[in-house]
Chains A and B, each alone.
Chain A
């Protein structure tokens, strides 16, 4: 018996290593990178002389002076999920032209573990840090280390915490997407598609300020229509797909679902339960299945492009590192970035083309344009306006000549 098992083990290992050897790359928990050009196979072609041409090779900046080198620590739970990989690739894109050494540190979901990993990393010496956790402990940690810290996609839980964090000199502020507006837009999109008996499928209350903001926006959205009713709510940690299946089975009149996070299994559930054409979806986070959902008409609206938050955070940090400019005037007030709103298959295809390809939401030059290097008058007010201008149309207009 043990010989058979040993044989199976050996064959499995051989197969796995052989099959994966060419494609897999070891992901370490801390990774330093400088490369950023579009060397990922997207838009590459071979010239007649054999040289490799990248159609998207615009990862350069125009500047008459050498940019200083900075070492930036980037923190996230895991850089292998969709959002994490987008955070990472958007930073990698600008690393070389802006002369930045990024270190990507996965902190997991455990607070103690994360703090230990960050403390260990800070020993190496960094000029700045972008993280996703807004807590006084983190602000204090980075302040003690003398490392400027900006928060991406996270916000202080309340005003008291916001003030406490702002009291630390090295806390630069927090950049978040407009979750409330996304939630409101979800309700409006469902209403526009004729949904009158809707469901909210979201994260348990209190877990996350962003998710609570989405729920609040959705609630205000449907409340603004007298003939739209919230007939069922599911507040859960992860069982959103099952919640929709159950709601559809027990509430036959259900015709729309607002979901805080549209994962792939939710699209699967809509199809497997035979709800296409019966229940419309609206939600957040573009994922596998989004295009298919737009094609079969089951998706009314989705908000995406959140990863641009990371680039804006970098711009905030970069401004400070260059000459001490603070483009978040009041760290107790979050800098809010618009969502990318998608309502059709055309929108989705444009999103993939302009925001999920080799060129991220902001190029290195565009980020440099947000600093006194290029614009002496750039300030917090201009940064706020720039964030409010962020949209699919904005990105298309800026990158029409970059993406083919």
Chain B
């Protein structure tokens, strides 16, 4: 377990000291959300209707942008080889890196996203549900994304391929997440959608580290 937390700490240090990585994802997220009212027009009733969807689509795309740094640098400089040789099982290493990635990418999005959606005329009553949905959904994005990032780690120009592999896997999270926020915005109970989102997270938590670890081992051969 010490190795697990050491890896988490290392990745956090790298992300925070190299700076910019977290900020860039956040700025991209804010910009992506800003584009929608500018493109669609400022009518509040239209914006309320699409706020949940816009929030989640922007979160999906931001997560996708940040996935490359999950394994790419460690693959290039040989850290992954050391991790594969080490005593920490590979799926646990993936889980540690995913945790660090979520803390520096998913968590900021979760904190900033729902208040930002207020600018899209999301009712204030929907804020707690939106925070909860993002808190459950963004780890799914990181974990499912880890599979795609691991599969494309050794490939030159893997970016577009990563999007093609990962976005279909993101669709359930998108559907349940925006349904939860939507339900709260229109005065319904978000609970069923939040439970489905939690179920998605459970499945991703169990399956994704194994799949990503298998893919990483393959890339390291």
A binds B: no
